[in-house]
Amino acid sequence: MLLQGKTIVVTGGNSGIGEQICLAAAAEGANIVIDYVAHPEATDALIKKIEDAGGKAVGVDADITKAADLQTMVQTAVDTFGRLDVLVNNAGMEDRKSLLEETEEGYDRLMAVNMKSAFFATQHAAKQFIAQGDGGLVLNISSVHEDWPMPGNIAYCVSKGGMRMLARTGGVELGAHGIRIVNIAPGAVDTPINTATTTDPEKLKQLDAAIPLGRLAKPEEIADVVVFLASGKAGYMTATTVTIDGGITQGSVGL
């Protein structure tokens, strides 16, 4: 098993990409800490699914927009499984507003969920990694929009651009401690965040046509990349981004 004995925290872990990361990592032997802020029943169901398959998992109700809750999240991993090996900053949101439409309240909320949470979760995880003394890994579920404009969704793009520099600057700062930070940048993925597109046949047809591989990614395909990066088989990678987008950023203008 690729992740035997490793403890992995996944923010926003009870749905979408996060859920598939939890399942894939558990199947490879990892101990899973599932962070969530809503739908505890979904977390309970996911834990049962993991445990029924022979894995280990625990849920933690932590508001990722609050640094103190993020510390609790990290401590839950340590208290339950003895250590932390990998943090996956997966939780995110978008609000599909342009520069002229965005509100202060909307901007602050989006940046807290997408950027502030990743920043302070990384900080708390890094301190734990340093205390353990044998390095660690932070994986950020970013987006192709950390580098690729998406008109009409500007705050989301700004938050992912910030995550890009979190990986690059943080990776440089923490390299001496054996701590790595790698971003994973999906393109269009078939998750609830894209429901408005996937439930509209015309919009879905337009999006599929813009992707060289002709379809959205499955959440499981993103999870597979997480497992690979967490396995140690990419141990020389840090301060960079792995793009998994079906070629969309090479094959079309921004959508």
End-to-end CA gap in the chain:
39
Q: Known catalytic residue: 156?
A: yes
Catalytic residue among 36, 107, 156, 236: 156
Element (H, E) at 231: none
Inter-residue contact 155 to 97 (CB < 8 Å):
yes
What's phi and psi for 150, nearest 5 deg?
-135, 85
Nearest by Cα to 118 from 149, 82, 89? 89
Per DSSP, the three-state class of 162 is: helix
CA of 100: how far to CAs of 94, 157, 245, in Å? 16, 15, 28
**Token match 């499955």: residue?**
218
Q: Which residues are catalytic?
A: 156
